[in-house]
Amino acid sequence: MSQPRAKVVILGGGPGGYEAALVAAQLGAEVTVVERDGLGGACVLSDCVPSKTLIATSGLMAALDGSAGLGIRLNGPVPGGSSPGGPMPGGTGPGGPGPAKAGAAGTGRAVVDAPRLYARVRALADAQSADVTGRLAAEGIEVLAGTGRLTGPRMVAVGDREISADVVLIATGARPRILPAAVPDGDRVLTCRQLYDLGELPGELVVVGSGVTGAEFASAYQALGSQVTLVSSRDRVLPHEDADAAVVVEEVFRRRGMTVLGRSRATEVRRTAGGVTVLLADGRTVPGSHCLLTVGMVPGTSGIGLEQAGIALDGGGFVPVDRVSRTSVPGVYAAGDCTGVMMLASVAAMQGRIAMWHALGEAVQPIRLGHVAATIFTEPEIATVGITQQAVEAGQADALVVKLPLATNARAKMQGFRDGFIKLFARRGSGIVLGGVVVAPRASELILAVSLAVEQLLTVDQMAHTFAVYPSLSGSLTEAARKLMRPAEDV
Ligand SMILES: Cc1cc2nc3c(=O)[nH]c(=O)nc-3n(C[C@H](O)[C@H](O)[C@H](O)COP(=O)(O)OP(=O)(O)OC[C@H]3O[C@@H](n4cnc5c(N)ncnc54)[C@H](O)[C@@H]3O)c2cc1C
């Protein structure tokens, strides 16, 4: 006799929600996703996808900035010809050139067409959202547009409709934190979700907060042509990341002309006639044309009936979950940013999938957060996986560490960059790879080799015996592994 189909209702259509929906549908459940703003969630519509699309352009600008050293002259005369070279593709357009350091044709700099760039960002986000909509439709998943709330542990209301479910997944994400004395107005004082509505590049952008989001946007806008001031309350930028990596990125920021204010806590942001003034705790003021606030995220868990349904929240309003995404109430799961567990799209998606595998009776492996690969999309990028140097220094892991600068790598020289390194951690004795840090252009792509080693418990010997292409940056990964190999007599 066949079992009745389980009814699954999912609040939120971001990666936590829509990936869960796909798994649940694959397992034969009847699935409804309730989404307020659009499928793909904030990840696709306002956060991850738009920011990385913007960074695709800023990365190219950064590369062009260093192109003279590679023998490229921008807007220079055509060799042997009489006609002057035109502007760089996309360099000028109907919106006119960008501000600040974006130079005019003939000055040797590419310029950014901000309206075109922002239009591309929005179009790409919409297209990605449409792709997600198509995938869910193809699997027969019902999508309800609107704000959902719990009216009981397994009862969800959307407008006038009430749906009873066997399984509920909360995947309502998070939103930027707002400071009482720095309220965004969407014009000059902005959250990261409001940048793409600007008609131009900020001339002088003050970024408050030097965590991942602050560092990524500071890096991007500096490359796009804004004059950026980064206000950091800590000693250095990216205070929670590998210290060696953060130092490299901060050096690059300064060299490219960014002003980095360390140990500077912003207390207030005021509008002025020409822009904004950011007030610091020590009395200094920082003027700018625009201010971007990146001071953390708050969970989207209030006012949707969670407490009334008996679901425990922590002090910050996040939904505590175990490693298979269960909340404190049986049958109710949670995934993604609303849980406060590593705020990454990949983690949200995995939490969502695991929730459905568990709820619908599939074999499931609890999430392994120690194996999550992550990247900070600054220029250069910082990619990490596995244990950290901090953990090694604190004695939490008995590991050997090797750090190889990329400045001596032949491919890096050919590509004209010298800022970056490869760091590898291996267990003392067994040589099993425990983690790594890559600081390089496209480190996000290079880290997979280390991720594979960590996931599959490979040893540095196995990594060292793996062929890498010559010349390549990944050759430095195998070289780092070679440096960690034990001499034969120690085996
Ligand atoms: C600027 C920025 C850049 C980022 N870049 C990256 C990156 O490069 N890589 C990466 O891995 N992560 C990145 N992240 C993090 C990533 O975006 C989040 O981890 C991811 O979006 C979390 O997915 P989610 O499903 O939990 O929530 P979301 O993507 O936030 O989706 C939640 C959805 O729920 C909806 N919702 C909320 N409440 C309700 C309700 N009551 N009823 C109906 N719908 C509701 C919302 O409208 C939203 O669409 C970035 C974040 C930011 C801010």
Q: What is the DSSP string of 87-133?
A: PPTTTS-TT---STT-PPTTSS-----HHHHHHHHHHHHHHHHHHHH
pTM of the model: 0.93
Radius of gyration of the chain (CA): 25
The string of pLDDT tens digits covering residues 307-349 is 999 999 999 999 999 999 999 999 999 999 999 999 999 999 9
Instruction: Report the pLDDT value the prediction gives residue 1, as an integer from 0 to 100.
Output: 54
CA distance 463 to 478: 6
The Å distance, Cα 342 to ligand 1 centre, comes to 12
Cα first-last separation, the chain: 59
Q: Which one has a higher pLDDT value, 126 or 101? A: 126
The Å distance, Cα 185 to ligand 1 centre, comes to 21
Q: Atom 4 (ligand 1): residue with closest C-alpha?
A: 48
The Å distance, Cα 187 to ligand 1 centre, comes to 23
Q: Is 193 in the pocket of ligand 1 (CB under 6 A)?
A: no
List the single range of 26-30, 60-64, 108-112, 202-206 with lowest mean pLDDT.
108-112
The Å distance, Cα 337 to ligand 1 centre, comes to 7
Q: Is 40 in the pocket of ligand 1 (CB under 6 A)?
A: no
The Å distance, Cα 308 to ligand 1 centre, comes to 24
Q: Is 218 in the pocket of ligand 1 (CB under 6 A)?
A: no
Contact of 114 with 199, CB cutoff 8 Å = yes
CA distance 283 to 255: 27
The string of pLDDT tens digits covering residues 221-271 is 999 999 999 999 999 999 999 999 999 999 999 999 999 999 999 999 999
3-class DSSP state of 151:
strand
Instruction: Report the pLDDT value the prediction gives residue 81, as an integer from 0 to 100.
Output: 43
Pocket perturbation via mutation, ligand 1, pick of 169, 172, 376, 378 by most ligand atoms within 8 A of CB: 172
Q: Is 436 in the pocket of ligand 1 (CB under 6 A)?
A: no
Instruction: Report the pLDDT value the prediction gives residue 91, as an integer from 0 to 100.
Output: 32
CA distance 134 to 145: 15
Instruction: Report the pLDDT value the prediction gives residue 68, as an integer from 0 to 100.
Output: 86
Looking from the CA of residue 193, the nearest atom of ligand 1 is 1
The Å distance, Cα 299 to ligand 1 centre, comes to 10
pLDDT at residue 84 above 60?
A: no
Instruction: Give the 3-state DSSP-derived string for 160-217, with helices as H, strands as E and coil as C.
Output: CEEEECCEEEECCCEEECCECCECCCCCCEEECCCHHHCCCCCCEEEEECCCHHHHHH
Q: Is 213 in the pocket of ligand 1 (CB under 6 A)?
A: yes
Q: Is 356 in the pocket of ligand 1 (CB under 6 A)?
A: no
Confidence of residue 105 (pLDDT cuts 50, 70, 90): very low
The Å distance, Cα 47 to ligand 1 centre, comes to 7
* 436-455: average pLDDT: 97
Q: Atom 21 (ligand 1): residue with closest C-alpha?
A: 43
The Å distance, Cα 109 to ligand 1 centre, comes to 36
Instruction: Report the pLDDT value the prediction gives residue 266, as an integer from 0 to 100.
Output: 97
Instruction: Report the pLDDT value the prediction gives residue 104, as an integer from 0 to 100.
Output: 43
Contact of 237 with 269, CB cutoff 8 Å = no
Q: Is 344 in the pocket of ligand 1 (CB under 6 A)?
A: yes
CA distance 4 to 23: 17
Q: Atom 12 (ligand 1): residue with closest C-alpha?
A: 344
Nearest to 126 by CA among 19, 48, 39: 39
The Å distance, Cα 227 to ligand 1 centre, comes to 29
* 178-202: average pLDDT: 95
Contact of 382 with 446, CB cutoff 8 Å = no
Q: Atom 2 (ligand 1): residue with closest C-alpha?
A: 47
Q: Is 37 in the pocket of ligand 1 (CB under 6 A)?
A: yes
Looking from the CA of residue 337, the nearest atom of ligand 1 is 26
Looking from the CA of residue 374, the nearest atom of ligand 1 is 11
Instruction: Report the pLDDT value the prediction gives residue 65, as an integer from 0 to 100.
Output: 86
Pocket perturbation via mutation, ligand 1, pick of 10, 19, 48 by most ligand atoms within 8 A of CB: 48
**Cα angle value 365/369/374 (rounded, 5°):** 125
List the strands of the sheet with 155-158, edge to edge.
148-152, 155-158, 161-164
The Å distance, Cα 42 to ligand 1 centre, comes to 4
**Which residues have a Cβ under 8 Å from the Cβ of 409 and sit 6 or more positions away?**
471, 473, 475, 476
Q: Is 351 in the pocket of ligand 1 (CB under 6 A)?
A: no
Q: Count CA atoms within 13 Å of residue 45 on its CB side.
A: 17
Q: Are strands 332-334 and 297-299 parallel, antiparallel or unpaired?
A: unpaired
**Which residues have a Cβ under 8 Å from the Cβ of 296 and sit 6 or more positions away?**
176, 177, 209, 211
Nearest to 13 by CA among 35, 46, 43: 35
The string of pLDDT tens digits covering residues 459-490 is 999 999 999 999 999 999 999 999 999 765 44
Q: Is 173 in the pocket of ligand 1 (CB under 6 A)?
A: yes
Q: Are strands 167-170 and 332-334 parallel, antiparallel or unpaired?
A: parallel
